[in-house]
Structure 1
Amino acid sequence: MRTVDLRSDTVTVPTPEMREAMYQAEVGDDVYGEDPTVNRLEELAAAKLGFAAGLFVASGTMGNLVALLTHTQKGDEVLLEAESHIYYYEVGGMAALAGVQPCTIRGVRGKLTAELIKNHLRPANIHFPNPSLLCLENTHNRGGGSVTTPQEMEKIVQFARESGLHIHVDGARIFNAAVACGCDVKELVKGVDSVQFCLSKGLGAPMGSVLVGSREFIAKARKWRKMVGGGFRQIGLMAAAGIVALEKMVDRLAEDHEKAQKLAAGIAEIPYLNINAEDVETNIVVAHLKPGVMTVSEFIGRLNENGVKANGYGAERIRFVTHKDVNNDDIDYALRVMSKLAQRVMF
């Protein structure tokens, strides 16, 4: 049976060029700083985002945790959006391991503004924790892949600086944001202290993320990475795929965005689903089940029976994510499955 996997862009498999680069990679012990391929990846990543240094980490979750550990002290308050990945999907690591208190801010489709942040920033007081870090997410996963533009970022960064906050960007899909904006990725992170981005989502590498920042910040982060079990040895095999991802896979993200637009337009024609196609900015499509039709789990199950995979987003939302390993024919097939399902459930 045909399978169209729209659960996430994490299901992508490495390209033939990545596999060849992995096979040919020169390696060494990265804990000693002796893996030349890792060193090249870290330098390339830092330069692409406009920072002095980079650190290869196992995952986005590890990158975000290491950033929190590096920026904060136990008992500090971290401001972040209420449905941000760091808060929602990272197993409570910010509390359990970093020992920081989250101050959650409800954004608009996951996006924060300087005014929203200002309204949640408490004044200095002996009773209050120390607010030390602002975390932003771009694109925003649970916001449906929403993009914070360079102009919006500039206002937030200016306010955070005036307020004495460090700024970390969870940029798991920051290159999707840059492609959607038609800008250099450096414009999206100008003035922030650190960024984490994933190699293993739309860029197609088999694993890994890179955390970038100043040389001093990365030196401290490297020690925290070791503490949480992220000391790699001959990991240049995987870093080689990451280099290909950065050099060859960024521009093609526009194709994923086009496929997402096509999927959203088709979903808009299906009577038991609601969607605002204008909200689809990148490669994430979120649809709402109309009340009384079926549960999200039932819907996901029926799709799966026909070879289409998607993820539920709570009680009424379904998320579809386009990526390099689904094509336009796959999108057409998924829409046909949903249309046929409509005939069964609506009539």
Structure 2
Amino acid sequence: MASAGQAGTGLPAGSHRDPALQALVDRVVADPNPNPGAFLLARHGLTDRFGAAGAADRATGSPMAPDLKFRAGSVTKTFTATVVLQLVAEHRVRLDDTVQSLLPDQVRTDNALSGAPITVRQLLNHTSGLYDYIDGLLPHFRSIDQYWPREQLIGIGLAQPRYFPAPGTRFRYSNTNFLLLDLIVERVTDHDLRTNLERRIFNPLGLRDTSYPLAQTTIDGAHVHGYADVSPLLPNAPEATRFDVTAFSPSEAGASGALVTTAADTARFYRALLQGRLLPSALLRAMLTDTVPTTGSAPPAVAYGLGMYVYATACGLAYGHGGSAPGYLTFALNSRDGRDQLVAHTNWNSFVDTGIDKDFWAAFQQGYCSHPG
């Protein structure tokens, strides 16, 4: 496995360490916080700045750096949603098509698709009401590197009653929605999501450090190691509250969160998306403005569009997504025109509810609104 110290040249030319961003990440890794490392990469216009602190790999002591690969978690959802909306633009799918019509074999009298019809739009904006399979994984857990078939995960999600019976009535985040979108993409295009991501997004944008692994539990090249509290899963593990979970299988997340990427590639993707290079203007506008209030979500999230969060920051609305994966926590915030951006990352993420990491949350919100001195 490549060590974190083999950092490449993935940062934009001219990037420089910024004292204000550095002060923010220093607080993220300061005791008593459990975070081994953290970074912020900010862009305002053509100026790129960063702050990085702590360790990317506790075993070797390799320092955290913003050009390392990491597991992006639910940032993946914006990528998946972009593919779906491209298929809408090609008239191969409609936002108001029902899951039941597109995936009739998934409907059974004893599962959640037997209720009121759910549309593609409702999968994209998390108003389907479908149970989140993540909440039902623990009884099926056997090992960190186990492979999770998509069909098993969808089955877990559909086996439980809906959170609410009438789709479209309110927001309730559920990763099951995006596994069904994955299956729809595959049925419509006759290619898996990885192929679609590579052909439609990764290759056209030159995202050379971005991949969509499912069966591979290692990360190729220089990367961040992820750490978590695994006491609910492996109570006898050494250092169970800061255990290296880098090898946690990305198949557990699939289309909802399996992406491996870098901060620069993440920023490049959102910049291209928001500047109209990936979607027609009407569909991009729908992605950002066809929103529902994110009731119950932690600030600064205020609304959710079609695979995109809307954040209310001290310097105005921002668009993007958060990403939570075992051992990794990421946020990407962007101005409407894609000129102002922030990618924030830390390599500790608990399996248990330990509350909000206040220093990290403060860092990504303040970092987005900070400007070069």
TM > 0.5 fold call: no
TM-score interval for Structure 1 and Structure 2 normalised by the shorter chain:
under 0.3
In the superposition, the TM-score normalised over structure 2's length comes to: 0.25
Which protein shows a greater Rg? 1
